[in-house]
Amino acid sequence: MTIKLSERVFEGTAHIKGDASGKLIASDLELSFWGGVSPKTSEIIDRHHPLSGQYLQGNILAIPGGRGSCTGSSVMLELLLIDKGPKAMIFERQEDILVLGVIVAEEIFGKTIPVVMLDPKDFREILQFNGSDIHISNSQVSVGPKTWLNEVQSLTKASDNVELSDIDRALLNGEFGDASRAAMNVVLRMAGMLGVSELMDITQVHVDGCVYTGPGCLLFAEKLRNRGGKVRVPTSLNSISIDMNRLQVQGANQEFAAAAGKLANAYTDMGARSTFTCAPYQLDSAPKFGDQVAWAESNAVVYANSVLGARTMKYPDFLDICIALTGRAPKGGPHVHINRMASLIINVEGIENAKIDDSFYPLLGYHVGALAPSEIPVIVGIKLLAPSKDDMKALGAAFATVSSAPMFHILGVTPEAVDLGTVVAKGSDLRSVSVHLSDLIGCWDELNSASKNQPVDLVSLGNPHFSLDEIQTLHSLCRGRKKNKNVAIVVTCGRLTYNSACTAGLLDELEEFGVQFVTDTCWCMITDPTIPRSKSAIMTNSGKYAHYGPGLTGKSFYFGNLARCVDAACGDTYVESRPQWLELGQ
């Protein structure tokens, strides 16, 4: 019997097995669930995404894969627990973060949805059926009547194809407690999905799952703690959803603050350190070159791999604590040398005589991330700029916002990119793309979403967390100037950085100028009253926040360098104009 186009059946790979039917909402652009999807309503709130304004609930989502934040797994869990998640998901390539959210929902809470990966040709074809009713049964996707080619398969189980060590067996048998046993099941299921044959020891973990996205993430953490969970390796904690030391100043909702505090306590009860920073590379405990670690938080993963030369996958929320409880991680991805090789060359041109400023780095990262949504790029041509650690932080955070790749290389700058031969597989025929300064204009215009001459009432700094060097630079820029009383300027940083700035004598003048400091939390979690409910815009030097901010806050944004941010704080309007180096690059 001939199958019509409207009655197609596609055979893929079932990452999570099951049956589902629903309307297809589809895009060929990756989507970050954290900052891109509301965990309460399922609305797609990434205002830069073509699916913006649509709802996942009751529908089947098809996207190439996720991107951006590791907290996407937490958003997925919250949606499933309140029955507002998609009925199923279809991907073009392996997707770790969102699938892990479903695995946790299934393993810990007994809730699940099917997840299927199609090959690129079939995925591109399924996009044509956007808005149509489709059906999924395990590995098969059907358009039109339910027509299945194979019998229904058994439910997903932990991988039987991973070689277990004695310690792995002991963990699985519950010899280290029930929490470690449950965590080991999650680690093994992820290893099976990744197709790796063994686990490995890691030296430290950075947990991103301490961000409060809703009651699901708290239930998960408390279940592990109440089952006796204790970390087996040194573990740091990402930014949380509140400033533990400034609750009154932050003005957080009491119920929300209590839940967020309980979540943080659940992780510290399990032995994690109360570091509360999204920039763990600023800590004394930062890993060294070649260290095998398990970090979550997208910007931190990219920085660890790229700038420090440590080795970590882009670990989803929840898998991070499971690895901390077991000390074991899948031996795959960037943990393995061959998987750290570049598959795209980015040649940056036209910077020799350009007087660039610090806005160049987030713009370049944002543009390169869009060019390499899933590939590891090697950037050539910026060695002469001698980018600082903070420049690399800004570049990496913007890159990680729009790319799912776990790292990048910069020739002559990052530790593995001594020459092209060290980061390009021998015999590879790599695609090469030239990037001129004028190519960054589109990024500038996209990140500047505010209308011309729109007033500014908040200057947002510290996404990712400000470093001590950045506080020193801000101190110099504010000296001798007067802040406009109608404009707030707020810096987020780690509590250890704040203490160092205090010791260095930097805070008195800055606070006299009007700078407010917030520790423990970060801008992606901050709401009103720190962010005013007004029609005025927010000014930031963060490419990451300029991207996520409109969806998270409902406000429009200006983006520019740190000096422009201080200028905006000293006035109540900001005339949006491109920097001279960018205009001259045309």
SS3 per-residue string spanning 2-69: CCCHHHCEEECEEEECCEEEEEEEECCCCECCCCCECCCCCEECCCCCCCCCCECCCEEEEECCECCC
At 527, give phi and psi (nearest 5°).
-125, -160
Token pair in block for residue 498: 């704040």
Distance CA 54, CA 56 (A): 7
> Residue 449: is it exposed, middle or buried by C-beta count within 10 angstroms (0-12/13-18/19+)?
buried
Query: Would you put residue 514 in left (φ > 0), alpha (ψ -120 to 50) or beta?
Result: left
User: Strands, E, within 258-369: which ranges?
Assistant: 294-295, 328-330, 344-349
Which contiguous run of DSSP H or E holds residue 491? strand 488-493
Q: Under a CB-based contact definition with an 8 Å cutoff, are residues 448 and 533 in contact? A: no
DSSP 455-477: BEEEEEEEEEEEPHHHHHHHHHH
346 contact partners, CB below 8 Å, separation of at least 6: 368, 371, 372, 377, 378, 379, 380, 432, 433, 435
- Concerning whether 159 is annotated as a catalytic residue, the answer is no
Region label for 420, one of left (φ > 0), alpha (ψ between -120 and 50) or beta (otherwise)? alpha
DSSP designation for 98: H
How many alpha carbons fall within 13 Å on the CB side of residue 228?
A: 8
| Phi, psi of 584, deg, nearest 5 | -70, -20
463, 464, 470, 474 alpha-carbon torsion, rounded to 10°: 10
140-143 vs 9-11, strand pairing mode: antiparallel
Q: Provide the edge-to-edge strand list for the sheet that holds 13-16.
A: 9-11, 140-143, 133-137, 19-26, 59-63, 88-91, 115-117, 13-16
Structure tokens, 222: 């408390």
Q: Which of 32, 38, 42, 69 is catalytic?
A: 69
DSSP, collapsed to helix, strand or coil, labels residue 576 as coil
Q: Give, in degrees to the nearest 5, the angle at Cα 556 between 475 and 28.
A: 115
Q: Which two tokens stand for residue 259?
A: 């839940």
Catalytically active residues are 69
